[in-house]
């Protein structure tokens, strides 16, 4: 899938999961969703051309290079008798549930130890990842969102950020996992259940039947999948669905004088 689709599906998943992890307020849900949207792009750090690999120039480029080498080594050591003869660099180690869970756990531990500034750093990094995929228009919007959060959230911002650290690891893990689910809908599939052996393969590519697979960047994704998730992503923002339903009811319901029985 394209980067912008990954970011958008991550945003939708984050808003849907936020209440389940305790991010119940509008401010917390938006932070959770934004983090999930950004980290839904991180698994593609194993590709040198991905926005995650280029976001901080040589630094993320070097991390991408190292990740590809580690992934290739792990693939060579663990591949089953029926696994494909590939390098194992892209869509392998970073596209697994183990990677998502490990990064989520590391984020939770790091933000708990690092305090509010560590939380702020993770959230901003997620926003920058999303901006790299969705476009520069997201940068001023993100700035406005940060200002909105600062001036409308409860006054003790340090305590608010510290509270967020309790569930930020879930947002990171969910973003990475949503990326894997998205890639599993494409023609290449995604081996996200590694190391669970399936049909003689340690790196079995999970994907739907051939007629249901999506070709990355083609009409189904750009004209159907992406627009649908744009609408879903807006409606999932806390309060928007209720406002939409109330507005629709007010617009289409007959006036009280007409609906009354004569």
Cα distance between residue 201 and residue 110, in whole Å = 34
Q: Give residue 117's pLDDT band: very low, low, confident or very high (50, 70, 90).
A: confident
Q: What is the mean pLDDT of residues 11-18?
A: 88
Give pLDDT, residue 16.
87
The alpha helices in the chain, defined as continuous H runs, are 3-21, 26-39, 51-54, 58-78, 97-114, 116-134, 138-152, 157-183, 219, 226-235, 240-252, 256-259
pTM of the model: 0.82
Q: What is the 3-state secondary structure (H, E, C) of 48-72?
A: CCCHHHHCCCHHHHHHHHHHHHHHH
Tens digit of each residue's pLDDT (9 = 90 or more) over 195-238 = 999 988 999 999 988 888 877 666 666 766 666 655 665 656 65
pLDDT over 70 for what percent of the chain? 70
């Amino acid at each position: 899938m394209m980067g912008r689709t990954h970011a958008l599906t991550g945003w939708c998943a984050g808003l849907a999961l936020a209440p389940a992890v305790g991010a119940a307020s509008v401010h917390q849900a938006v932070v959770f969703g934004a983090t999930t949207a950004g980290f839904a792009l991180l698994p593609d750090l194993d590709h040198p051309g991905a926005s995650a690999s280029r976001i901080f120039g040589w630094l993320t480029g070097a991390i991408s290079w190292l990740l590809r080498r580690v992934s290739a080594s792990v693939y060579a050591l663990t591949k089953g008798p029926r696994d494909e003869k590939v390098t194992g660099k892209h869509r392998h180690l970073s596209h697994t549930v183990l990677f998502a869970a490990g990064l989520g756990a590391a984020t939770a531990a790091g933000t708990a130890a690092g305090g509010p500034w560590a939380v702020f750093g993770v959230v901003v990094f997620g926003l920058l990842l999303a901006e790299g995929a969705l476009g520069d228009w997201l940068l001023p919007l993100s700035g406005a969102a940060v200002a909105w959060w600062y001036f409308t959230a409860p006054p003790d911002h340090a305590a608010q950020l510290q509270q967020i650290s309790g569930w930020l690891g879930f947002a990171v893990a969910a973003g990475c996992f949503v990326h894997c689910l998205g890639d599993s809908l494409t023609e290449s599939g995604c081996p996200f259940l590694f190391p669970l052996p399936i049909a003689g393969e340690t790196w079995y590519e999970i994907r739907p039947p051939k007629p249901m697979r999506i070709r990355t960047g083609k009409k189904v994704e750009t004209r159907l999948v992406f627009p649908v998730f744009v609408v879903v992503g807006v409606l999932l923002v806390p309060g928007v669905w209720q406002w939409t339903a109330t507005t629709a009811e007010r617009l289409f319901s007959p006036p009280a004088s007409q609906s009354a029985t004569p």
